[in-house]
Amino acid sequence: MSFLRQIFFTASLPVCNRRLISSLIEPTKPSKIFRADGPGAPDIYSFFEKQTSSWQHLLVDPKTSESVIIDPVLDYNPASGTVSMETADGLLDFAEQQGLKISRVLETHAHADHLSASQYYKKTLGNISVCIGHRITQVQSYFAPRYGFGPKDMEKAFDQYLKDDEEFTFGSISGKVVHLPGHTPDHIGYIVGRNVFVGDSLFMPDLGSARVDFPGGNAKDLFNSITRLLSLPDDYRIFVGHDYPSNREEDCIATVGNHKELNKHCKVGTTEQQFIEFREARDNVLGAPRLLHPSLQVNIRAGRLPPVDGAGRILMKIPVRIANQK
């Protein structure tokens, strides 16, 4: 059994191991860099993961180099069943090259479109905390039985369960938790200075907003969450968790003022009823995310893969539905 499997998976799922040869590989370069714009503000390095169109945001205290990572991605190929650390290792190598000290992983919610690398970061870096909103227990109670998990599998899956408006620090930087239900009931965001990390609630203005058709999702809740975000000062910067551009480069940032003027789903003048009708109609024609079931059974357990079976295998469970049968 390889070193990586011993410390992380302890199983036979195919794994591509880059940490053992990281010295031979160039660290991943950030897709976007935003320097601290005032006292108490972080440097922000944003990394775009193309396979799942996900943004990962690395926030750094310029004074101490202490850092947090928001919504890290673990690579997974569902056709081959292969887990790869390429994305995670690229970010870790960048942090190491820059002399950064990652102390927390901050999840915005239990993602349904990519696997979280939070547990890999924890095992690789040692004493760091994996944090998520406290309502994750609602999501766990719904999905755990569907994937064969019991209550003990969910106990203390995360290191810290964040409360609404709870403050946190890294180095000399302080931030605050904001509850943003709608996409999922457990969804939270993070306000750090005038930067707001909104996960899968808002997208870039030309794309609008996230779907609400997951269990516990609700269009009215999302409208209220967006209204809360757009009540912030116009110069606050909203960092999104995904981007799906068709005729521009990938981007992750727009100001509150930009969204109020240009967001195709919720710009100023959009009524609650208009938003609900559009959002629900749109969701009715969307297909399930490609990595829905693998993502959920890993992410409700803070990035842990399913336990090893008697044959030393890790098996993802995919519930089967028969078309046209109730």
Q: Are strands 43-49 and 32-34 parallel, antiparallel or unpaired?
A: antiparallel
Give every CB contact of residue 85 below 8 A, 6+ residues apart in sequence.
4, 15, 16, 17, 18, 19, 74, 75, 117, 120
Does any domain span residue 326? no
Percent of the chain with pLDDT over 90: 86
Does residue 293 fall inside a structural domain? Answer: no
The span from the CA of 124 to the CA of 91, in Å, is 12
Look at residue 130 and give its three-state secondary structure. Answer: strand
In a domain, 78, yes or no: yes
CATH number of the domain residue 153 falls in: 3.60.15.10
Label residue 240 left, alpha or beta by phi (over 0 means left) and psi (-120 to 50 means alpha): beta
Q: pLDDT tens for residues 59-73?
A: 999 999 999 999 999
pLDDT reported for residue 6: 36
pLDDT at 273: 98
Residue 3 has pLDDT above 60, yes or no: no
Query: Could you give the number of structural domains in the chain?
Result: 1
Tell me the per-residue pLDDT of 172-186, one tens digit each, with 9 for 90 and over. Answer: 999 999 999 999 999
Q: What is the pLDDT of residue 54?
A: 98
d(CA 116, CA 305): 10
What average pLDDT does range 102-112 have in this prediction?
A: 98
314 part of a folded domain: no
What's the confidence (pLDDT) of residue 24? 53
pLDDT for 177 equals 99
For residue 313, being part of any structural domain is answered with no
Predicted confidence (pLDDT) per residue in 255-301, tens digit: 999 999 999 999 999 999 999 999 999 999 999 999 999 999 999 99
Task: Output the CA angle 21-26-28, nearest 5 degrees.
Answer: 110
91, part of any domain: yes
Q: Is residue 145 part of a domain?
A: yes
Range from 11-15, 189-193, 309-313 carrying the lowest mean pLDDT: 11-15
Q: With 80 as the cut, is the pLDDT of residue 156 above it?
A: yes
Confirm whether 312 is domain-assigned. Answer: no
**pLDDT given at position 324:** 81
Per the structure, the complete domain to which residue 253 belongs is given by 3-287
Instruction: Give the length of the chain.
Output: 326
